Each structure stands twice: as structure tokens, then as C-alpha cells.
Amino acid sequence: MAAAAPPFPASAAAALLLLPLLLCLSGGCNAQTPVFACDASNATLAAYGFCNRSATAAARAADLVSRLTLAEKVVSNEARAMHNVGLAGLTFWSPNINIFRDPRWGRGQETPGEDPLLTSKYAVGYVTGLQDAGSGAGDSLKVAACCKHYTAYDVDNWKGVERYTFNAVVSQQDLDDTFQPPFKSCVVDGNVASVMCSYNQVNGTPTCADKDLLSGVIRGDWKLNGYISSDCDSVDVLYNNQHYTKTPEDAAAISIKAGLDLNCGNFLAQHTVAAVQAGKLSESDVDRAITNNFITLMRLGFFDGDPRELPFGSLGPSDVCTSSNQELAREAARQGIVLLKNNGALPLSTKSIKSMAVIGPNANASFTMIGNYEGTPCKYTTPLQGLGANVATVYQPGCTNVGCSGNSLQLDAATKAAASADVTVLIVGADQSIERESLDRTSLLLPGQQPQLVSAVANASSGPCILVIMSGGPFDISFAKSSDKIAAILWVGYPGEAGGAAIADVLFGYHNPSGRLPVSWYPESFTKIPMTDMRMRPDPSTGYPGRTYRFYTGDTVYAFGDGLSYTNYAHRLVSAPTQVAVQLAEGHACLTEQCLSVEAEGGHCENLAFDVHLRVRNAGKVGGAHTVFLFSSPPAVHNAPAKHLLGFEKVSLEPGQAGVVAFKVDVCRDLSVVDELGNRKVALGSHTLHVGDLKHTLNLRV
């Protein structure tokens, strides 16, 4: 049991805790004399309950909160101070798990795509990878992740409609079917340390002031083990931009009472005390919020003394930019490249190519490759450098920037280079001047005169012309897809620091491409649909086509999941049931009535699962990796999606080699749909399973 702490007033205890930080901020510390909260060498601090490492994080946080005055509880400055002096930086406000609902969204580049299941699995993997402190670590965190932006957030700035004032009108069906699943998985399956609420309103209520969404769903239904943060200045926004409350004290009170624990910004620090003094908020509400924050800090080890003596304390600069990490960056880029068209020109041969024209505004890109919210790269390998390491190259930008306005177009030099080379690689697309946070697109065409550049260079090329699209979002490149002059098309996203090397690896066949599109590529005509229309499902009466591959009824340039290889794969169904019976409890209404669906929860869901086994064979002459997607088309009830993803597995096969891929299908989880009221139901009747061109029908019955 810890020794009794000295009988300091609460503010004195806090001052002792924060003194090292204040000394550092005033220049009183340096790298040679670091200071730490709960430093074991400081016997006075070590005697406090919040410094007792044998106690639970919750008990330690409660002890600390009990020692703070109200004013100390709301000065977020200490958290910032800890960051500024190098004592913080272990909370990462990532990943972005919003659904890439509209192809024009500037921040779609941050997300894993348009599918809720894919995004959910990405979220869990991302969070686990960041937070996992290893076996035996209990509830400790290596770093703290944050799933954002909760919820239905995917309009930044489109034709003057800004995220700060946008009200996302979303049906309960769309909310629970599309927008919420990744966040639920993040909290329930990933045990994320934090969720960030967004700027926008949902059905008239700011998300950071919505008690149902925060206290009700995140903390109540999903049992968040962590804290809820605002997006930066979101509370200020709901008061000053949205005019949701009459006074700043009301804004502070409604947000904290709704379940907000941490405000990114100064608004709560400035107005919470006044809200309590005015009786709009209780101090116990403040205690609850900061306790959640301190528990996370306890789990991170902030109050465990010198971090060099703790797990991971030996990590340092030598652990950054290792050769294995740099190779991982290159491999990640290789796996992310999607081959969309190939008339046989790829892979290229270094033996038959004497000269290569490398053309385009992204042909020598470096910073562009790392997208937004970027880290500091170890080094860059630009596309020009990557290609030039294999063959002799001639470089022409074609345009001075990706905007490619009339004045920046340099057609003559570009076409001359293409005409004299054995092969031409055109690298075009976007950068952060075209798509980014606070900037959505209004067109799906390549920017400026890039289409003219592509067509002119392709027509002038004496050899094969390879088109490479570097971007976060999709484009309407129908003209290139149908052109006989363009031999191959690849989408490389923003491929990171080793992007140029990865592009060369794929073009020259050192790596067989296996990437698949995570979003649908729509035609330019899709831009007639307002980006602010949040409806996922089509409306035939008005011609509204719906959104994403799950619901969209119109034409696409390329579809979700598209992606070619340098080999061919054949699929054969080994085993799957044709009939699955749902065993309902005695007296269930659907035993005597004709029901379209039954609840996706309850005793009848227990152990209600089956296996799907598929044989996959590499029928070509090149080894490679192949992603097997399992889709289902449910019965046409409850405005169900046309098809939805049940699972995916990646298998690596040498030429002629075959392997078996197995999927475990949980009926209530995987074959259920969300009804009009937001309830998850198992649709009865005929379900069609899809793997590539292979289809299998099974009947769900009671």
C-alpha cells in the first residue's frame, strides 16, 4: 500500500505534478536533464496514489482527479505542454475510417475506401498495430489510436458548402448500415483508445453535442475503453459557426454532458468554469471527462516515471528508417498498385528497351507521393528515379504542375520525347492542390489540360504508351480506357516515399500487381448529383442512382475490386451449403407467419454459421498474389444492397499451383441486412454468393 501523501491542498499537488513541465517550458530543462511525471527519484510525488504503478489505471486517475481544482481540471494547456517538451506524442489521431461515399471528397485519400466491411477490418488492424503493447501488457498501450471522424462526415468544402456548417441528413438505415459499422468495429473489436467526433451536424445536431451518438452509442452500446475527443475547435464551431447554442457556456455544457471528454482547442478551457458556476454543468461531469483522459495517459505510462526504464524505453533514432522498414514501404507501395488495363505491353523488358520517355506533371514527384497528414520520409525515390534505375530515360513534365492550365502545357517537348523513345510512361493525376482537407473536387476529369496531354503524347508515341494515375480519388479516364494508343493503365494512389521504385518494380515485372480498387470510378456525369445528398440507396422515381458498388445503379468507368494481374486465376467451388435452416425458438411469430426476415440476434444466431471452400489455381505462367473476394447478393427486402462484401483473403501461388481458400460465414453477422428502422435482420430466401464470375445460391429458411 502506498505511503500517505503529504497533506497538500489540491492545487499544490497539481503544481508538483506540473512543475517539471513548467520548468521545461521556461527553458529550465534540456535533453541531458529530462524530467518525468511520477519520477521515482522524487519521493514527494512518488507517495501519491496516482503514482502507484501497482494500482489500476482507473484508480490512479481517480486519485489524480481528486487532487485538482476545477480550474486545473479544464486547462488543456498541460496536455499541450507535455507534448511541447517531448513528454507526449503517443496519441495518434488516426485512422480516418469515414466511408469514401462520394468520389469528389478531398479527404477520401486518407480512407481505405467505400466498403463498410473493408473499412472495419482496416480499422481494427490499424488500431491493433498501433496500440498493441505485447503479451502480458494487460490494458497498457504502446501508443493510443483514434478513430475519426464520427460520424457521416465526408463533405469538406464543395461549391461553398463547408464541413463547419453542413448538416448531414442521414436515414437511420444508412447510418447503421454504412456509416457506423467501421466505428463500431474500431471500438468493439479494436479496443481503440479514442474516438473523434466530427464538425458536421447529423440530422440537425452537432455530433460533438449529440448525447445519443456519444454517451448512448460509443460509450453506452459499444463500451468505449478510452476518451472521446472533438475535432479541432469543433465546440467553438458549433457555437460560432452553427449557432447551435445561445452562449459559449451552453456550448461547453452541452458537449461535456453529451459525452465529450477532450476538446482539441481552447474553447472548453475558456468557458467550462463559467458553465459550472452558472449551474449549466456539474463538476462531476468535468470529473468524468478528465478521468477518461487520465486513464488513457495512465495506460500509456505517462505517470510511470522515466520512460527509458519502461517497456519500449530502448527505442530510439536507430529504430527509424531501418533497411527493413524502408523495404516495407516499398512492398506496401507495390501491393497498393492497381493494374486497370493491359493489352500485353506489360511487363516491360529491360533487354528490349533502349530508351524510355517519362512524361507528366507527376513523373518526378516526391512530396506529392506521401499524400496528406504525412510523416517525414527516410528518403524519396521518384518515378523518374525508379524507372531510370532500369533503363535510359528522357524526362519531360508536359505541364509545369498538375493543374495543367493552358500556360503550363508543354506539348511540343513532350510529344517529341515520346516519338523518339521505345516506350513512353505518362504519369499524371493530382496532388494536394486538387484534393485535400477543406477542398473537394467539382469534376472527375483529369485536371486542366491533362487529357489533352495524355492524348497528344499517346498519339505521338512510337512505342507502347503506359498511363499511370497518381491520386487519392478516382477519375473519369474513359477516353484512355478505350484508346488503342494507350497500352496499359495503372492507378498507384499516393504511393509513399518508395513509390517510384514500386512503380518500376511493377512495370518491369519484378512484382506481379495484385492491387484492387477500393472505390468505384464513376463517369463525369455523376457530378450532376449534389455531393450533399447523403442517400446511399437509389431512388428510381427521381433517377437518383445511389452510391458505392453496394447500391449504385449507373455505369462505372472501373468497379470496386477491379484489378488485373500478369497471370490468370481460376476459381472452383469446393463446398458450400445450398440450404441453411434458422432454428427459431418455440412460439416465434415467423414459425406460423410468412416473414421476409428475422432478427439478427438471439438464441437462433448462436453457432449459426457455415464454411465456404474455394479452390484457386494460378492458370498462367507468372507467380503472384491474388485477393479472393466473397460477395453476397441478398433477397430484395428492406432495400438491401445489390451485393455486399462478406470477406476477402489473399493467396500467393506459383504458376500451375492451386490452393484452397476458406471463409467462415456467420449468418447473423455476414448475411444480415439493416432494415428501414436501423435494425439488423437476416433476410430469408435466396442468397447468391459471388467469387469473380463464380456464383452459388443458398436458401435461408426457418
Q: Which is nearest to 494 in space by CA: 376, 337, 387, 331?
A: 337
The answer to whether the peptide bond before residue 95 is cis (omega within 30 degrees of 0) is: yes
Q: Which is nearest to 236 in space by CA: 202, 212, 260?
A: 260
- The grid coordinates of residue 102 equal 462520394
- The grid coordinates of residue 99 equal 466511408
Task: Return d(Cα 212, Cα 223) in angstroms, integer.
Answer: 14
Q: Which residues pair with 206 in a beta bridge?
A: 201
Q: Which is nearest to 140 in space by CA: 57, 37, 228?
A: 57
Q: Which contacts of 585-594 are long-range, i.e. CB under 8 A and separated by 24 or more positions?
A: 588/702, 590/684, 590/702, 591/702
Reply yes or no on whether 236 is catalytic: no
Cα 597–chain centre separation: 32
Cα 590–chain centre separation: 40
Q: Which is nearest to 656 in space by CA: 614, 618, 616, 615?
A: 618
Q: Which residues contact 32 (CB under 8 A, 6 or more apart)?
A: none
Q: Which is nearest to 337 in space by CA: 134, 167, 563?
A: 563
Backbone angles phi, psi at 699, to 5 degrees: -110, 125
- The grid coordinates of residue 144 equal 493510443
Backbone angles phi, psi at 359, to 5 degrees: -130, 145
Q: Which is nearest to 427 in space by CA: 391, 463, 385, 462?
A: 385
Task: Return d(Cα 346, Cα 337) in angstroms, integer.
Answer: 14
Element (H, E) at 338: strand 338-342
Catalytic residue selected from 63, 156, 231, 431: 231
User: Roughly how many angstroms between the first and final C-alpha of the chain, as a whole number?
Assistant: 59
Catalytic residue numbers?
231
